[in-house]
Amino acid sequence: MLTSVILAAATTPLQWTPSVGIIMIIANIVAIAFGKFTIENYSAEPAVPSPQFFGGFGLPAVLATTAFGHILGAGIILGLHYIGRI
């Protein structure tokens, strides 16, 4: 029964456009900035190659902030698609 409810609530498919990519990039930048100010030990080991390109983040902080950025971006993109803005 749950499957039929989910299928009934499905909307039109979302096609990738440059605006979708820009939204995801901005969401990741916001998540990384949020992580920079909230993660207590953001330079924890193991280190990433060329840490100056990652804001001094260690691998755990890079993975955590980009995962959060993708969750945030997916929510924004799906929400905007649902209300018909993209």
Chain segment 12-25, per-residue pLDDT in tens: 788 889 999 999 99
Please choose, from the candidates 3, 8, 12, the residue with its C-alpha nearest in 3D space to the C-alpha of residue 78: 12
Domain ranges (residues) in the chain:
15-82
For residue 1, the 8-state DSSP code is -
pLDDT in tens, 25-72: 999 999 989 988 887 776 667 866 776 766 777 888 888 899 999 999
CA atoms within 13 A of residue 15's CA, in its CB half-sphere: 1
State both tokens at 65. 């902030």
State both tokens at 81. 């698609």
In DSSP terms, which residues pair with 47 in a beta bridge? 58
- Which whole-number Å values give the CA distances from 70 to 1, 9, 18, 28, 39, in the listed order? 30, 23, 16, 6, 18
Rounded to two decimals, what is the model's pTM?
Answer: 0.76
